[in-house]
């Protein structure tokens, strides 16, 4: 098992944000967390990446407990987090943003190789590599955020709301990229409000409600579940 979360409890002051959640991600999978705003999806990712402390529970990555590790050590172990809202550095160029993603690598030749791999995957970024990130469209900024996440060569990529604020045609493009990254060997834990799109690319999923996992199963099983359809899919759907 690549990632195992066991009975994780997280509080924001008096708010019990995650209430004993347990989940796992196998190597090579896309696993999605779906749920409404405030369900605990982003908190789960932020706790995995060391940005939010947990009060109890455990997080194992490749069998190693990482709950007390610093965020930069977690990146070095092979976990990269692409945050909600993209969070690119607007006054820096595309290339400067990407190079920041490889801050843990001191080998300049290796950084350049990683950069070329990202540019191969995102030719639009290569064409505009000297352009300020703040001048990019929302879809281009999302590509940059994903590219920056890939610069650390992660074993596990945490994606938080990659479709947020994007036009439908761009959502499809971003999800084609996500599938391509997974096919290339990167395991993905995907947080998404667009449940239909997330379940269409994931192998398995978990449904969070107010800090608890209330359902889990195969993507098809969740898609066929009437409660999931009514709450997140707008009625019966097919994938």
Percent of the chain past pLDDT 70, that is, above it, reads: 98
Distance CA 230, CA 207 (A): 13
What is the per-residue pLDDT across 80-136, written as a single tens digit (0 to 9) for each?
Answer: 999 987 789 999 999 999 999 998 888 999 999 999 999 999 999 999 999 999 999
pLDDT value at position 238? Answer: 46
What is the per-residue pLDDT across 196-227, written as a single tens digit (0 to 9) for each?
Answer: 999 999 999 999 999 999 999 999 999 999 99
Is 94 within 8 Å of 123 (Cβ atoms)?
A: no
Is 29 within 8 Å of 205 (Cβ atoms)?
A: no
pLDDT value at position 210? Answer: 95
Token pair for 80 = 């990269």
Is 159 within 8 Å of 111 (Cβ atoms)?
A: no
What is the per-residue pLDDT across 147-165, written as a single tens digit (0 to 9) for each?
Answer: 999 999 999 999 999 998 8
Per-residue pLDDT, averaged over 48-63, amounts to: 97
Residue that the structure tokens 């084609």 belong to: 176
pLDDT value at position 235? Answer: 59
Distance CA 219, CA 201 (A): 8
């Amino acid at each position: 098992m690549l990632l195992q979360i066991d009975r994780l409890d997280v509080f924001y002051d008096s708010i019990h944000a995650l209430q004993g959640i347990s989940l796992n991600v196998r190597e090579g999978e896309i696993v999605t967390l779906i749920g409404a705003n405030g369900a605990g999806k982003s908190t789960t990712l932020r706790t995995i990446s060391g940005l939010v402390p947990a009060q109890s529970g455990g997080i194992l990555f490749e069998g190693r407990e990482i709950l007390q590790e610093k965020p930069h050590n977690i990146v070095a172990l092979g976990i990269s987090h692409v945050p909600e809202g993209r969070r690119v550095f607007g006054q820096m160029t595309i290339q400067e943003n990407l190079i920041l993603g490889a801050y843990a690598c001191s080998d300049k030749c290796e950084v350049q190789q990683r950069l070329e791999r990202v540019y191969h995957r995102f030719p639009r970024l290569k064409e505009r590599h000297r352009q300020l990130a703040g001048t990019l469209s929302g879809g281009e900024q999302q590509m940059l955020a994903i590219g920056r996440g890939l610069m650390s060569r992660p074993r596990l990529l945490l994606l938080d709301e990659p479709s947020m604020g994007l036009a439908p045609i761009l959502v499809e493009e971003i999800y084609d990229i996500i599938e391509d990254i997974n096919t290339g060997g990167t395991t993905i834990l995907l947080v998404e409000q667009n449940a239909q799109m997330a379940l269409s690319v994931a192998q398995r999923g978990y449904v969070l409600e107010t800090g608890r996992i209330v359902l889990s199963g195969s993507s098809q099983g969740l898609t066929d579940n009437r409660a999931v359809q009514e709450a997140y899919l707008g009625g019966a759907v097919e994938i």
